Amino acid sequence: MPSEYRGPHPGGMTMDAKLLERVLLAFKKVGLEVVLVGNAGAAVHGSPVTTLAADCVIRETALNMKKARAAAKDLGCTISQPFLPASDVVRLEGGGLQVDLMYSIDQRSFEHIRSRAVWKSVGSAKVRVACMEDIIQSKRKANRPKDRAMIPILEETLRVIKEVERIERKSGSA
């Protein structure tokens, strides 16, 4: 699998690589550490999926909320919590982008997701991306029709990733 996400796959990804790169660079500028999850994370892994938003997990701190507000301002976005009290999702929206920041997914903490994440490049930005196993598990837990529809695609992406890793290990030991 390529280590750099270069943009939409056949079938497209609405949030293209340039826009995602801009978001990630804004997070870096303010020092907000994120782990990319969801379909945007799956796309960066090479999965041919679409999304309208980027979902990220962050550590739950007052300082991170301050950093998120600074990034939103830099991006020309509004920041809100549209699902209170049902969810603590923080949304950055505007200028053609939507980014949801969460403190956990499926009751798995930022630290847990981060510990299993891999570094990927999106243009000039580097980002931790949740491992495919965690992305698949979150889709299963959400159990929405749109998530259930993605699971076979994500599982096939994971199978290809594992096969490429196996081939690379084999050729590296030859």
By the 8 A CB rule, do 157 and 46 touch? yes
For residue range 64-114, what is the model confidence (pLDDT) as tens digits? 999 999 999 999 999 998 887 778 899 999 988 899 999 998 889 999 999
% helix, strand, coil for the chain, step of 5? 50, 20, 30
pLDDT band at 2; cut points 50, 70, 90: very low
How far apart are the C-alpha atoms of 139 and 150, rounded to whole Å? 8
> Distance between CA 72 and CA 17 in Å, rounded?
18
What pLDDT is attached to residue 82? 84
Sign of the CA dihedral 60, 62, 64, 70? positive
Distance CA 12, CA 51 (A): 9
- Average confidence score pLDDT of the chain: 89
CB atoms within 10 A of CB 4: 12
Domain topology for 4-173:
Beta Polymerase; domain 2 (3.30.460)
- Starting at the earlier edge strand, list the strands of the sheet with 118-122: 4-5, 118-122, 125-129, 35-37, 54-57, 97-102, 90-94, 78-80
Give tens-digit pLDDT for 114-145. 999 999 999 999 999 999 999 999 999 999 99
Q: Express as a percent the part of the chain with pLDDT over 70.
A: 90
* Mean pLDDT of all residues in 150-156: 97
The model's confidence at residue 7, banded by pLDDT at 50, 70 and 90, is low
Predicted TM-score of the model (pTM): 0.87
Please determine, for residue 13, whether its predicted confidence score (pLDDT) is greater than 60. Answer: no
Q: Say what the pLDDT of residue 11 is.
A: 40
Query: Is 38 in a helix, a strand, or coil?
Result: helix
Residue whose C-alpha is closest to residue 20's, from 174, 131, 125: 125
Distance CA 38, CA 27 (A): 18
Q: Determine the straight-line distance between the first and last CA of the chain, rounded to whole angstroms.
A: 20
